[in-house]
Structure 1
Amino acid sequence: MIQKNVPLKDYTYTKIGGNADYLAIPESIEELTKAVTFAKKNNLPWMVLGNGSNVLIQDGGIEGLVILTTSLTNMTIEHQLITVEAGAPIIEVSRTAHDHSLSGLEFACGIPGSVGGAVYMNAGAYGGEIKDVCTHVTVLTPEGEVKRLPAEEMAFDYRTSAIPEKNWIVLEAEFVLEEGEQHVIKAKMDELTYLRESKQPLEYPSCGSVFKRPPGHFAGKLIQDANLQGVQIGGAQVSLKHAGFIVNKGDATAKDYLNLVQHVQKTVKEKFGVDLEKEVRVIGRA
């Protein structure tokens, strides 16, 4: 069912964002393709949103149709191959791999994104990336064709891939992992979970890391050294726990968030001559 004028802040990790003109939450790939057909028939722009973990939706909302993939979570396991639909949380895939004594996705045990989003941006943490384990991706092309493509065609790079440029929709991803010992896999996941929980401001809504790592530097360290921790514009604040995060203290708008991003970029550039590039995707109408 396609809904009208739906608040998107209810579907994002920042708890920020205006309304979608139309919203669809398909429960199968067939329903997803029907939603795309609806948009084309009605000359509506359309876009796919995973679970809203690495995006900032602007206060004017999103024109046209937004398709949420959060109900597309089917997963199959055959030997060392895990095939999973785009809406499944990558954390759950990591846990399932552990349950089947499969190693390679431990790095993803704390990444709060969907499989589709993780593939879209080649998500990574603690030395691992999606490109290390992904072998094939099934996509829906802008022409409506379903294609199963090898990972080589994804052009995976640091926090990016060919998907946004090609305007593909990720439908499914395949991961080939290595056989391992369950207790060793669990120990690694426990260690990474501890590191994440002790260093990241999980008690507040946020989009995760705001900036990409600049060559030769760490974004959080630069922001901290620029004395920007705790700086606040409106309801958006540079986290006191981890300077690479901007948190929503309760009533932040996207405008607050973006003004603070620009202030951080300007200050770091003036003090250290380093350009901070946004990792978070900014979408929608200002």
Structure 2
Amino acid sequence: MICVLTNHHMYDKLIQITAKSNVMMNELLKDHTYTRLGGKADFYVTPETYNQVQDIIKLANRENIAFTMLGNGSNLIVKDGGIRGIVMNLQKLADIKTVGNTMIAGSGARIIDVSREALKEKLAGLEFACGIPGSVGGALFMNAGAYGGEIKDVLKSTVVVNREGEILTLTADQLDLDYRTSNIPDNGYIVLEATFTLEHGDYDAIKGIMDDLTNRRETKQPLEYPSCGSVFKRPPGYFAGKLIQDSELQGKQIGGAQVSLKHAGFIVNRDNATAKEYIALIHFVQDTVKERFDINLEREVKIIGED
């Protein structure tokens, strides 16, 4: 744990870079994750400009302090002990603009909102994203997808900051986008913005697809409880939810965490679960499916923080 003196020293340094309203000490991360799980961040910072992002990274490097990037917390479990050092959220970099058939969106914009803006502009290609709760940055990080579409289908380029605080413009091909993966985490990139290439289309046709996907999502997914979304990647030739259902695990509960009765691929925070309970249930599901079907369920959700 960072000592109190270091905490105040670091706080002073951070508010020199960005406004006081953008720096919080000992912020509870459960207030910033879809699962409603997670302990405190030493510093929770929400910069408003690209330069502030650069300066915060350079400060972390200079002071040798841990640095963690947090999207909008939709595909993430933060452990109960929280996260040491600086946690940065780019929710204030959320501008979305349209130029012809391209859309440029800030990292902190919700990908749902980008898909809705595309609809307004009669642009097709992002319909699949109308139910994905993550940020643009998070969507690139894991090449988010749903209903047969994925980010790599429409991404043209991205602007990122590297570990040294330098801004780079990369094409989609330079990100090694594959099923629920990219090279963004390995390279330590932080996404600042993304440019999508879409196609001019018919408003009613685009809206029809989005309405259908929204209806399918709302009727099949347990949106009434906090969750991280789909917990596991799809094993080749199988569906994770079906394997879990066939393992008779629906309704299985550890503490306040439960395998959803509505969709077995989801684990919900049914009753004030701790991260420890939620993670224990993930492991139980993996072990049971392995025992029953000899298939390894690989996590799609990311787990970070301290116990």
1:242 aligns with 2:272: no
Counterpart of 1:96 (choices 111, 117, 131) is 117
Cα-to-partner distance string for 1:28-86 (whole Å, 9 max, x where unaligned): 22222222233223221101111000000001101110001111101221100101110
Counterpart of 1:21 (choices 39, 42, 66) is 42
1:230 aligns with 2:251: yes
Q: Percent sequence identity over matched residues?
A: 56
- 2-structure distance, mates of 1:51, 1:33: 20
Alignment-derived partner of residue 285 in structure 2: 264
Counterpart of 1:187 (choices 208, 213, 223) is 208
1:82 aligns with 2:82: no
- 1-structure distance, mates of 2:271, 2:41: 21
1:52 aligns with 2:35: no
The TM-score with structure 2 as length reference comes to 0.92
Alignment-derived partner of residue 14 in structure 2: none
Alignment-derived partner of residue 304 in structure 2: 283
Cα-to-partner distance string for 1:227-255 (whole Å, 9 max, x where unaligned): 00000000000000000000001310110
Compare 42-51 and 119-128 and name the one that shifted more: 42-51
Compare 117-126 and 28-37 and name the one that shifted more: 28-37
The TM-score with structure 1 as length reference comes to 0.99
- 1-structure distance, mates of 2:155, 2:51: 24
Alignment partner of 2:98: what SS?
Answer: strand
Counterpart of 1:151 (choices 166, 169, 172) is 172
Equivalent pairs counted in the alignment come to 286
Structure 2 gaps of 5+ residues are 1-19
Alignment-derived partner of residue 126 in structure 1: 147
Alignment partner of 1:142: what SS?
Answer: coil
Alignment partner of 1:207: what SS?
Answer: strand
Counterpart of 2:163 (choices 142, 146, 162) is 142
- 1-structure distance, mates of 2:53, 2:44: 11
- 2-structure distance, mates of 1:158, 1:63: 30
Q: Is the 8 A contact 2:57 2:163 kept in 1?
A: no
> What RMSD over aligned residues (CA atoms) do the two structures have, in Å?
0.8
Counterpart of 1:33 (choices 54, 58, 62) is 54
Alignment-derived partner of residue 198 in structure 1: 219
Alignment-derived partner of residue 29 in structure 2: 8
For 2:126, give the aligned amino acid: L
- 1-structure distance, mates of 2:186, 2:61: 20
Cα-to-partner distance string for 1:120-174 (whole Å, 9 max, x where unaligned): 0000000000000001011101111100001000000000001011010001100
